[in-house]
A and B are shown apart, each in its own frame.
Chain A
């Protein structure tokens, strides 16, 4: 553990404490306020007619009967919305050479995936709107469908975007050191081709939006279940030509997001336009099948990779080709190439070899878009690397722990730059490895495994080291021209009754943002946490900032709150010093009382300072202007990202008759720097691991040859349930970043990052006696039986 930021025996020391989330009580009482709950006066409901074809020309649309249905207020096509909304393109400048077609809320003449919204109906109820959809007739002419990666890459094959030379969105290459030379002189080479199926976020609350345009005020208010209200304020303003100050985006309680709800969706843009056309609030909540066919998907990679080692098991080089298919467009405004980019840059990250070559090819296809979802690229990079390390260990004759201990970057060797260009400030692979070994009781697990194998019980043990990207600087999006902030802002006020209110740009989706911000503010100011009120998620109220994504809430938002709280404390003590005729430096605040800094003797409640400043400023010395509201912005500087690291382990049993896998126990040792609330960090890790286990074992968006999603319901698409999930044992190593006072890094992706790698290694370990291997995720029972040649 690192030294605490403030001594834990000091009153109001909240940084490092497991305190429950104040805002969770509402949710437990059923008093959450989700956008899907919202009902506004004169509100209408939108529904969308969707394309049954994966690729087709729109010949004609007949909306007359729908328009005539009683209760229908508007039927809008692509052409109607194109008159008021400017198109968007999902490219960024720093991804050199990437292309993507312009997009509109609804298509004008062509559909490019099955499920794409084509016509919008707005009616007095969702049911009437859906009735009207059935009265719309659209004539389509089928176009050739491009579904899989190979088909999309075929020379002379069908093109998704007319006028383009091929179906390539983006290509990138990395080449560092002397890769060919290293492979030529290697004692051992391991090589594998991996595939990673598409999966999706499956937030329990689907996407929800209520757009409310008031033509009299020229004001657009959007209640939007999103992580990033400021990003959408900017986008709605620019694409609909409304001044930014007249666009307000409110993100209240959100029923899960995981990165999925920060992208532009065609329906959401359409709903804003529909509200503008009608001058009334319009609500749209995706139903579950709509979520499956229109929420972003993630992954869909095929990676061929090889690793060269010397005779002792030292990793010399890696050589990687990542092919990824992203749908027919690149997603706006964050693009669909970030995942592939992170795959090729995170591969090999824990290890110290220097020769690395990677090619990335990002490919269009007729499916819904992919984009950033929890742990973007990490699970793929981690699975590829860690599986190859295990294959190498077997070849060299080393234990999985031993080969990793031999190859990880030493804890005392930082700073380091990876062969892919990432700069690591300080990581702790050695400490984490050691801790995991003890925590798993590894030797005993291996002994038990050997014993059980004699009885025909096949257990597998897998480990996987990972590096996670957190606290992104403008290097992530800003440099590419995206108006996505990497800074955050906070406004902290002392209220007239001596409480503190913090308005902050990071947002809450249940991870505990508001809780940790109130912990930091209370800790730094010196008052009880219940006297700090944190407000998030309203562009009209909170200052502009990046909000919560890519594990930046604690590291960047937390630092913003810390600095704002310190500034307010200085201002409070200045006024206190005037009143008490002391030097500010001789005073401190503890438990809401100004005290003598040396003796801790109580001098004056801060409520009294507030009373005097707000109501009796006449009693303060002439010229005094109390500043009891402080605004502060913080943008990360120093390292472009605060990388974190850790290692996961799991123990599982494979039923070789049925192919079923039972995860028995999962372990993680994680280093996210300063831990603000251990309980909340642990819960992020657990939730992340279970999402990763879902991806590893169950979750896949399956398509037919004609590009139809065939399992778009919660009965068909398997999400992990309690019965299938193990208990998860957690330990921490703390290496705070020196780039901030707080020292916090992110932890939200860590669980997801390595869970599938861990499972992949464990399953392969279990199948070792059969000489069977698996290189494809999700690892379904059918794939296990196929590997065992029993299916």
Chain B
């Protein structure tokens, strides 16, 4: 981050070129230094599956995977993610890695308006990659950074619980 002409720093249209690997593809874009990663994903890259709910890291709607770990894309600037591998709900859907979670959420209606759902799935995937068979209590604990205003959470806990068990048995949830 060097080589800027000091005089340009005040300009509102100052942008920085950043490069990521997003959902397996190399992308480059020009972002303002103040642009958050979630805004960059949604506005510049048109990946609107990632949502902004509180813009302060409380609600979890903006969770994405950054170099394989779930992070709040509202809590970092796009420039901070320069060079990172980013996977959003769109990429996780297309690659099929969360297909069992999605199917189980669907079967149990573990979503209503769907606005929290992408973040919820990113977090559920993170949990199951860390803990093979979490207890219901552990699932509830892990999800406590993801607000859902519609479901009351129980169906979400049930769905994740069922997928964890099915993954351990080597089958798919039924």
From A253, A287, A724, contact of B114 by CB (8 A): A253
Q: Are B113 and A721 in contact (CB under 8 A)?
A: no
- Residues of chain B at interface, number, CB under 8 A: 58
Contact with B along A192-228 (1 / 0, CB 8 A): 0000000001111110000000000000000000000
Q: Within 8 Å of chain B (Cβ to Cβ): is A444?
A: no
Instruction: Give the Cβ gap from B42 to chain A, nearest Cβ, in Å.
Output: 7
Complex CA gap A346/B42 in Å reads: 46
The answer to whether residues A28 and B113 also contact, given A683-B151, A686-B154, A714-B147 and a CB cut-off of 8 A, is: no
Q: Are B149 and A719 in contact (CB under 8 A)?
A: yes
Which chain B residues numbered 98 to 136 have a C-beta less than 8 Å away from chain A?
102, 105-109, 111-118, 121
Q: Within 8 Å of chain B (Cβ to Cβ): is A68?
A: no
Q: Within 8 Å of chain B (Cβ to Cβ): is A446?
A: no
Instruction: Give the Cβ gap from B61 to chain A, nearest Cβ, in Å.
Output: 6
Which chain A residues numbered 18 to 49 have a C-beta less than 8 Å away from chain B?
20-21, 24-34, 36-37, 39
Query: Which of B34, B105, B140, B152 counts the most chain A CB atoms within 10 A?
Result: B152
Complex CA gap A21/B117 in Å reads: 15
From A30, A686, A714, A728, contact of B54 by CB (8 A): A714
Which chain B residues numbered 56 to 70 have a C-beta less than 8 Å away from chain A?
56, 58-59, 61
- Residues of B contacting A254 with CB < 8 Å? 113
Q: Within 8 Å of chain A (Cβ to Cβ): is B37?
A: no
Q: Within 8 Å of chain B (Cβ to Cβ): is A255?
A: yes
Complex CA gap A25/B144 in Å reads: 24
Instruction: Give the Cβ gap from A189 to chain B, nearest Cβ, in Å.
Output: 38
Q: Within 8 Å of chain B (Cβ to Cβ): is A131?
A: yes
Instruction: Give the Cβ gap from B48 to chain A, nearest Cβ, in Å.
Output: 4
Instruction: Give the Cβ gap from B81 to chain A, nearest Cβ, in Å.
Output: 18
Complex CA gap A97/B89 in Å reads: 53
Instruction: Give the Cβ gap from B153 to chain A, nearest Cβ, in Å.
Output: 4
- Residues of A contacting B46 with CB < 8 Å? 39
Complex CA gap A203/B112 in Å reads: 12
Complex CA gap A686/B148 in Å reads: 12
Q: Within 8 Å of chain A (Cβ to Cβ): is B88?
A: yes
- Residues of B contacting A34 with CB < 8 Å? 48, 51, 115
Complex CA gap A21/B112 in Å reads: 9
Q: Within 8 Å of chain B (Cβ to Cβ): is A690?
A: yes
Closest B residue to A203 by beta carbon equals B149
Q: Are A686 and B106 in contact (CB under 8 A)?
A: no
Q: Within 8 Å of chain B (Cβ to Cβ): is A605?
A: no
- Residues of A contacting B105 with CB < 8 Å? 24, 28
From B32, B106, B152, contact of A689 by CB (8 A): B152
Q: Are A253 and B50 in contact (CB under 8 A)?
A: no
Q: Are A30 and B152 in contact (CB under 8 A)?
A: no
From B54, B116, B143, contact of A713 by CB (8 A): B54
Q: Are A715 and B143 in contact (CB under 8 A)?
A: no
Q: Within 8 Å of chain A (Cβ to Cβ): is B71?
A: no
Instruction: Give the Cβ gap from B143 to chain A, nearest Cβ, in Å.
Output: 4
Complex CA gap A70/B12 in Å reads: 9
Instruction: Give the Cβ gap from B116 to chain A, nearest Cβ, in Å.
Output: 5
Closest B residue to A694 by beta carbon equals B149
- Residues of A contacting B61 with CB < 8 Å? 204
Complex CA gap A36/B42 in Å reads: 10
Q: Within 8 Å of chain A (Cβ to Cβ): is B155?
A: yes
Q: Within 8 Å of chain A (Cβ to Cβ): is B150?
A: yes
Instruction: Give the Cβ gap from B144 to chain A, nearest Cβ, in Å.
Output: 4
Q: Are A510 and B106 in contact (CB under 8 A)?
A: no
Instruction: Give the Cβ gap from A295 to chain B, nearest Cβ, in Å.
Output: 13
Q: Within 8 Å of chain A (Cβ to Cβ): is B156?
A: yes
- Residues of A contacting B88 with CB < 8 Å? 30
- Residues of B contacting A255 with CB < 8 Å? 51, 113-115
Q: Are A24 and B113 in contact (CB under 8 A)?
A: no
Which chain A residues numbered 484 to 512 have a C-beta less than 8 Å away from chain B?
509-512
Q: Are B115 and A713 in contact (CB under 8 A)?
A: no
Q: Are A28 and B12 in contact (CB under 8 A)?
A: no
Q: Are B153 and A725 in contact (CB under 8 A)?
A: yes
Q: Are A728 and B150 in contact (CB under 8 A)?
A: no
Q: Are A512 and B109 in contact (CB under 8 A)?
A: yes
Q: Are B148 and A204 in contact (CB under 8 A)?
A: yes
Q: Within 8 Å of chain A (Cβ to Cβ): is B141?
A: yes
Q: Within 8 Å of chain A (Cβ to Cβ): is B157?
A: yes
Q: Are A28 and B34 in contact (CB under 8 A)?
A: no
Q: Are A24 and B109 in contact (CB under 8 A)?
A: yes
Q: Are B50 and A690 in contact (CB under 8 A)?
A: no
Q: Are A683 and B109 in contact (CB under 8 A)?
A: yes
The answer to whether residues A723 and B106 also contact, given A31-B49, A288-B53 and a CB cut-off of 8 A, is: no
Q: Within 8 Å of chain B (Cβ to Cβ): is A722?
A: yes
Instruction: Give the Cβ gap from A111 to chain B, nearest Cβ, in Å.
Output: 25
Which chain A residues numbered 681 to 714 have a C-beta less than 8 Å away from chain B?
683, 686-691, 713-714
Q: Are A256 and B58 in contact (CB under 8 A)?
A: no
Q: Are B149 and A722 in contact (CB under 8 A)?
A: no
- Residues of A contacting B89 with CB < 8 Å? 29-30
From B34, B55, B116, B141, contact of A204 by CB (8 A): B116
- Residues of A contacting B145 with CB < 8 Å? 721
Which chain A residues numbered 387 to 436 have a C-beta less than 8 Å away from chain B?
none
- Residues of A contacting B153 with CB < 8 Å? 690, 721-722, 725
Q: Within 8 Å of chain B (Cβ to Cβ): is A445?
A: no
Closest B residue to A683 by beta carbon equals B109
Complex CA gap A418/B59 in Å reads: 43
- Residues of A contacting B50 with CB < 8 Å? 30
Identify the 7 closest CB pairs spanning chains A and B, nearest first.
A30-B49, A27-B114, A255-B115, A510-B112, A30-B89, A510-B113, A690-B152
A25-B106, A512-B109 known; 13 new pairs, CB 8 Å cut-off, are A21-B106, A30-B93, A201-B149, A204-B53, A253-B114, A255-B115, A256-B149, A511-B112, A714-B58, A719-B147, A721-B145, A725-B153, A751-B152
Residues of A within 8 A of B (CB): 20-21, 24-34, 36-37, 39, 69-71, 127-128, 131, 201-206, 253-258, 287-288, 509-512, 679-680, 683, 686-691, 713-715, 719, 721-725, 727-728, 751
A selection of 22 A-B contacts at a CB cut-off of 8 Å is A20-B107, A24-B111, A26-B114, A28-B121, A127-B32, A204-B61, A253-B114, A255-B114, A256-B149, A256-B150, A257-B113, A510-B112, A510-B114, A679-B109, A680-B109, A683-B112, A686-B155, A714-B56, A715-B58, A722-B157, A723-B140, A725-B152
